[in-house]
Structure 1
Amino acid sequence: MDGMQLALPVLGIVAAAAVTFYAVSFAELREKSFRDLDDSEDDGNGGFKPSPSSRERRARRKASKNTNS
């Protein structure tokens, strides 16, 4: 048996293992970052906080005018 006939399948297996390792690693990193984001939102002191909509801003202004009047 020629050395190339043995090396090619071994290299294919090694390449598949490397691709699988990186895919799993990146998936775990993504899940961890989403968990961290969810935890920071639950804490209430950070994370993504959307700005209020124009309807909410109008309602707040109206409520503050009613309390001041």
Structure 2
Amino acid sequence: MDGMQIALPVLGIVAAAAVTFYAVSFNEIREKSLQDWDESESENGGYRRLSSSSRERRARRQAKKNNKTN
């Protein structure tokens, strides 16, 4: 049995697994991004800049944290 007869199917399986992994990963990242966008839109009460500054996000998180403890 030639080595290529074994190596080629194994490489095909590895390539298919890699493509599937990246497709699922990017899909999950996209879904999380859309969820974050929907949450920020509902918090702000309408349309706003698509990305808020890190200071604004940090201030919102701190305010939520303070409201939960009070």
TM-score w.r.t. the length of structure 2 is 0.63
Percent identity for Structure 1 against Structure 2 = 71
Partners of 1:36 and 1:14 lie apart in 2 by 33
Runs of 5+ consecutive residues of structure 1 not aligned to the other structure: 51-69
Give the length in aligned residue pairs: 49
Partners of 1:26 and 1:37 lie apart in 2 by 16
Runs of 5+ consecutive residues of structure 2 not aligned to the other structure: 50-70
TM-score w.r.t. the length of structure 1 is 0.64
How big is the shift at 1:20?
0.3
Query: Is the partner of 2:48 in helix, strand or coil?
Result: coil
Residue type of the alignment partner of 2:8 = L
How big is the shift at 1:49?
2.8
